Structure formats: C-alpha cells, structure tokens
C-alpha cells in the first residue's frame, strides 16, 4: 500500500504530508493518494462523531484528534408539496454549520504538524468553524472576511478569539489576502487544503450508516466552492468501491443564479469554470465566483450522473419559509436545496435527500429584513 501523500492535480508531483504547504509549487490544488476506508465491523464500538470513520481521512496514525463530537447529525423526514423528503440536519454542529467536519480534521492535522499560527479566509461559516477548532486546539487564528460579511458571523468568529480582518472588494480579495499572509502563518484553507475535504466525506458515511447501509437515489447539496459536493462524492464512491454500497446517488449541486460559475460550466459541458460576471444573492454562503476546485467538482457531478440547478433569491426565500413552517430554521444557502428540488426532473423528486448546511440563526438579520419587506442582505460576489 502506498503511503498517504499529496498529489498535485495539475502536474502530478507528489509531496510527503510533512511538507508545510497547502498547494503545489505550480499553483495546482492537491488531492490525497493512498487513503483507505474504515472497517465497518468496527463502527459499533465507536463514539458518535466524525472520527468513527478516522481511517477514511488519511490522517497519520499518531495524530491527536481535535474534536467536539461534531457530525452524526440526524436525518429527519418532512413532507413538501405532497412528497416525503429526507433532510440531513447538518447545521446541528458545534459552530452551526457542516464546516465543522472539515475544520476538525484540518485543525487536527495542522496541530500534528506542530504549527501554532493559522490564517483562513471566509464569508462566515468556514471562518467560524476554523476559529472554533483553532480555539479548541490552542492555535492563534486570523480570518480575512469580505467587507460585506454579516456582523453576526464576524461576532461569532471574534468570540472564538480569532482576529478578524475585513477586506474591501469581492470574496476573491479576501482569498488573495489570506494567501499573501500565508508566508508567515499557515493557510488553513477550506478551499485549498485536501484534509478539509477528507473531513467532509464523513457526511456521506453517516447517510449510508443511518439509512441502514444504503444510499439514497438523489442527494441535493448547495455548491459554493464545491468542497462539500466533492467530499460527499468521494465518500459515496469509496463506499461503492469497497462493496459497502451498490450504487452512487445522483448528486445535484445548487447555485444561486446570481453567482453560478459551476452551473454555467456544467451546462456548457466545460471542465473548468470561466471567470464570469456575477451579481448579488441572498445566499452569501455559496457566493464563490472562482472556485479553485471546480475541475474536481464538475467531475464528481458527472460521475455521479447528477447535474446542477440554479435558483433565484425569491425561490430561496420561499423555500426558507417552507422549511421554517416545517420547524426547520436554516440559512438561505441551505434553503436553496429545497428551492432546487422544486425545479429538478420529476423522476428525481421522490426520496431525495437534502443536505441542510447552515443554521438559520446565522441569518437572522437577513430574515429580519426580509420579513420587514426590505431588500434582504445580499452579498456582492
Ligand atoms: Zn503541480
């Protein structure tokens, strides 16, 4: 068996895990090679957290996990428009979003490398997740946020003790600021670092375990950088390859119409996202105009037999109301999955599973404005 190592997805160069880097010298992003899967016969004896699937993350054997019992979020059933849907309540996590899965694995790995200071860029949820786990691990953390980031999200990051730097301009400018800081502080990037994606795979394993070692026919997930979609695909694919499951779910990726580079590339049969002109959207969590891992995301969509859907802000807010009316309070980015479900092919609507990624408590200001009939907070992308 080959040792777990970084492999550049552009030039193919291999790096050992001890190298303190987040991408290849050529600028390409890494994938991990040599990662195996867990032995399912051992799961019964393990704690309810993402770390029950530890072997599937590819982390070193002597790594000490930084965990707050993240993951193992429930799947509940609710009826919408005459259909019964399954909702993966993935916002029920320590910092209120699915990103705790990736942050737990990435911060554990960074601590294993002996690094004490990290930086990250985020429009909110990833910044909160990385700050939370940095606090748990005792690391110094700086988060670069776009200047339009809602105050509630910035407050959460500050409460974890991280320094917040507001960057004027677009989302991409915060990304550039973090990369330029990475010469003095390790860039703990949810966008670039493959161990973040490794942690996200755990959601696929939980879905399989909680549905009695079966996979649903259709999974709908929001797509910003696309890391969650990629992680779900990698998780489902490893289950099928190992014989633990029969067939990949069709993965449907949702983007906001105002910022839909992955959707545009998918419908035009492209393998990469072009720089596109983007507008504003209420779903600021998925407003990523230039996703660095687009090639892997587009490949995952196609290999699963899935496709993309773009939804308007009005459709997202209607869906948020429907979900809240069923007792499920999630942020607009998460509500985009129900908005998309209402537009997908009729044969895919039965038994779909929607992944709800972020708590509605993160978007209370946005919904407050919406209820008052104003123009809800929208992010410039
Ligand atoms: Zn390379």
CA of 24 to the centre of ligand 1 (A): 5
Q: Give the environment of ion ligand 1: residues with CB less than 5 A.
A: 8, 10-11, 13, 24, 26, 28
CA of 15 to the centre of ligand 1 (A): 10
Cα 77 off chain centre by:
22
Residue 204, phi-psi category: left (phi > 0), alpha (psi -120 to 50), beta (remainder): alpha
Q: What is the pLDDT of residue 282?
A: 85
Q: Which of 6, 3, 10, 7 is nearest to 294 (CA)?
A: 10
- pLDDT 10s digits, 237-265: 999 999 999 999 999 999 999 888 999 99
CA of 11 to the centre of ligand 1 (A): 4
Q: Are 323 and 338 in contact (CB under 8 A)?
A: yes
CA of 37 to the centre of ligand 1 (A): 26
Mean pLDDT for the chain overall: 93
Q: What is the pLDDT of residue 170?
A: 77
151-159 and 364-371 helices, crossing angle to 10°:
160
CA of 203 to the centre of ligand 1 (A): 29
Q: How far apart are CA 113 and CA 136, in angstroms?
A: 16
Within 10 angstroms of residue 327's Cβ, the number of other Cβ atoms is 8
Burial class (CB in 10 A: 0-12, 13-18, 19+), 165: middle
Q: Which of 220, 210, 199, 195 is nearest to 245 (CA)?
A: 210
Q: How far apart are CA 338 and CA 218, in angstroms?
A: 13
pLDDT level of residue 375 (50, 70, 90 thresholds) = low
Query: Hunting for tokens 């090679």 — which residue is that?
Result: 33
Across the range 224-245, mean pLDDT stands at 96
Q: What is the DSSP string of 163-199?
A: EEEEE-S-HHHHHHHHHHHTTTSEE--TTT-HHHHHH
pLDDT level of residue 378 (50, 70, 90 thresholds) = low
CA of 196 to the centre of ligand 1 (A): 19
Across the range 41-54, mean pLDDT stands at 96
Strands 352-356 vs 83-89: parallel, antiparallel or unpaired: parallel
Q: Are 181 and 161 in contact (CB under 8 A)?
A: no
Residue 338 has pLDDT above 60, yes or no: yes
Q: Which of 220, 208, 206 is nearest to 87 (CA)?
A: 220
Q: Where are the alpha helices (DSSP H) in the chain?
A: 99-112, 125-137, 151-159, 171-181, 194-200, 202-210, 227-241, 261-267, 294-303, 313-325, 332-341, 364-371
Q: How far apart are CA 19 and CA 110, in angstroms?
A: 11
The three state secondary structure string of 36-47 is CCCCHHHHHHCC
CA of 30 to the centre of ligand 1 (A): 8
CA of 364 to the centre of ligand 1 (A): 42
Strands 218-222 vs 186-187: parallel, antiparallel or unpaired: unpaired
Q: What is the pLDDT of residue 180?
A: 85
Q: Which of 38-47, 175-184, 351-360 has the lowest mean pLDDT?
A: 175-184
CA of 59 to the centre of ligand 1 (A): 22
Structure tokens at 25: 């010298």
pLDDT level of residue 209 (50, 70, 90 thresholds) = very high
- pLDDT 10s digits, 63-93: 999 999 999 999 999 999 999 999 999 999 9
CA of 228 to the centre of ligand 1 (A): 23
Across the range 104-108, mean pLDDT stands at 98
Q: Which of 205, 282, 280, 293 is nearest to 253 (CA)?
A: 293
Residue 380 has pLDDT above 50, yes or no: no
């Amino acid at each position: 068996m080959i040792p777990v190592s970084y492999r550049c997805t552009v030039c193919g160069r291999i790096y050992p895990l001890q190298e303190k880097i987040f991408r290849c010298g050529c600028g390409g992003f890494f994938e991990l090679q040599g990662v195996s899967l867990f032995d399912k016969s051992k799961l019964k004896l393990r704690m309810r957290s993402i770390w029950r699937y530890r072997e599937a993350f590819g982390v070193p054997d002597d790594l000490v996990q930084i965990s707050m019992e993240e993951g193992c979020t429930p799947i509940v059933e609710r009826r919408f428009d005459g259909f019964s849907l399954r909702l993966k309540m993935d916002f029920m996590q320590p910092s209120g979003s699915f990103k705790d899965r990736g942050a737990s694995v990435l911060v554990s790995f960074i601590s294993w490398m002996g690094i004490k200071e990290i930086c990250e860029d985020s429009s909110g949820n990833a910044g909160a997740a990385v700050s939370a786990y940095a606090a748990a691990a005792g690391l110094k953390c700086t988060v670069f946020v776009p200047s339009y980031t809602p105050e509630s999200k910035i407050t959460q990051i500050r409460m974890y003790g991280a320094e917040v730097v507001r960057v004027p301009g677009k989302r991409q400018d915060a990304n550039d600021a973090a990369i330029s800081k990475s010469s003095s502080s390790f860039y703990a990037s949810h966008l670039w670092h493959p161990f973040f994606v490794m942690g996200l795979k755990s959601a696929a394993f939980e879905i399989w375990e909680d549905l009695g070692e079966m996979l649903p026919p259709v999974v709908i997930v929001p797509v910003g950088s696309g890391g969650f979609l990629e992680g779900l695909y990698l998780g489902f694919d490893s289950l099928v390859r190992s014989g633990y499951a029969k067939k990949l779910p069709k993965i449907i990726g949702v983007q906001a119409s105002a910022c839909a580079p992955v959707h545009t590339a998918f419908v035009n049969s492209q393998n990469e996202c072009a720089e596109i002109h983007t507008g504003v959207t209420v779903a600021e969590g998925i407003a990523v105009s230039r996703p660095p891992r687009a090639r892997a995301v587009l490949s995952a969509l196609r290999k699963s037999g899935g496709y993309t859907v773009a939804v308007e802000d009005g459709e997202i807010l209607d869906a948020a109301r429907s979900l809240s009316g069923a007792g499920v309070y999630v942020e607009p980015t998460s509500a985009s999955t129900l908005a998309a479900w209402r537009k997908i092919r009729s044969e895919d609507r039965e038994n779909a599973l929607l992944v709800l990624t972020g708590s509605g408590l993160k978007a209370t200001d946005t919904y407050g404005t919406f209820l008052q009939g104003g123009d809800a907070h929208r992010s410039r992308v």
